[in-house]
Copies of this chain bind each other. A is one copy, B any other.
């Protein structure tokens, strides 16, 4: 084993080098008050000269702060990296965290054993907080985390019973219902009569809310949707492909599709092309997210834009505030859930 550490200078070393006490060095290093500028300068010089870097473990041991937060994504790596939604979100998160010198620990839940491991990890105090994504209805993890008191912020409104009423629950969501409603209304305005929908997994509130928005636009109740116009996808392009194929089989007469995200919409596009349907002439398609797949699709997708990167940033910010790391303005309100607006972007597919 490499024991490359061990020779690293400690606070003590810096202290004796500078001719002061450990406490003073600590104060200087952490920017504490009550040290003469002259001494401060001397210490800084010693730190520089010895190449001192604080030992995080020791610091964490006493402060109970790790300076790291976990990003937990309840999806296999294959999905996490294939879906630009996570990419963008992570980008916003990463940026915000790095601005506060906080590390990002990425944990993806792929296999069953990962649950135990990550649950243990989170409750072991390795991180100061967690950002949780893509939680499905029956996921035991958030409850576990919350129970240990780990500060957490959710990506998307959590769907478990009672979540609605918990004033301490923090999440960042977008107006999924409103966005979906706009999308479908847009299709109707373009004269489409038979609008089908490709859902995301309905154990996620985002997918459910988008389905509700679809029903809203159609002026029907949540359970009155025509089953032959509703197909189930899984937020992947392949899922969209399959769902579109099923829809065409069942309802050959449809003239529009609203897909729960851009990836499924691209899949749908692929199937439509394979079946010789022209888009938008024969069938109009609308996606959701407005990420790369939308712009790059053939034809470019009409879709619903949400500020994904911004949402990631907000999640991080909420968490940092909850942890007490972000600078609070004096009269700052306690952190609260955030719901961002969604706007329709019209391109060539509708």
In the complex, chain B residues whose CB is within 8 Å of the CB of A108: 94
With the chains together, A4 CA to B117 CA distance in Å?
20
Contacting pair A77 B81 (CB below 8 A)? no
Count of this chain's copies in the oligomeric assembly: 2
Query: Please, what's the 1-or-0 string for A145-183, where 1 marks a CB less than 8 Å from any CB in chain B?
Result: 000111100000000000000000000000000000000
Contacting pair A124 B2 (CB below 8 A)? no
- Do B90 and A4 touch (CB < 8 A)? no
Stretch at the interface among A98-106, A214-222, A338-346: A98-106
B87, A77: Cβ atoms closer than 8 Å: yes
Interface size, A (range): 35 or more
Knowing A2-B149, A323-B1, the reply to whether A8 touches B98 (Cβ < 8 A) is: no
B residues within 8 A CB of A86? 81
Nearest residue (CB) in B for A93 is B77
Q: What is the minimal beta-carbon distance from A227 to any residue of chain B, in angstroms?
A: 30
A186 at the interface (CB under 8 A from B): no
Q: Is the CB of A151 within 8 A of B324?
A: no
Contact with B along A311-328 (1 / 0, CB 8 A): 000000000001110000
How far is B64's CA from A150's CA once the two chains are assembled, in angstroms?
A: 26
B106, A54: Cβ atoms closer than 8 Å: no
Nearest-Cβ distance from residue A119 to partner chain B, whole angstroms: 10
- Identity of the chain B residue whose Cβ is nearest the Cβ of A89 in the assembled complex: B81
Q: CA of A148 to CA of B113 in the docked complex: distance in angstroms?
A: 35
Which A267-321 residues have C-beta < 8 A from chain B?
A: 292, 296, 298
The segment from A38-46, A55-63, A201-209 found at the interface with B is: A55-63
Bound Cα distance from A292 to B78, whole angstroms: 11
Asked if A120 is at the interface (CB within 8 A of a chain B CB), the reply is: yes
A82/B292 in contact, CB under 8 A: yes
Q: Would you give 13 A-B contacts (Cβ < 8 Å), ordered by A?
A: A2-B322, A55-B124, A56-B125, A56-B126, A57-B57, A57-B125, A58-B61, A77-B95, A94-B110, A95-B110, A98-B117, A103-B121, A237-B296
Known: A3-B64, A53-B123, A78-B87; 9 extra A-B contacts, CB below 8 A, are A2-B149, A81-B86, A82-B84, A82-B292, A98-B113, A98-B114, A101-B117, A103-B107, A237-B296
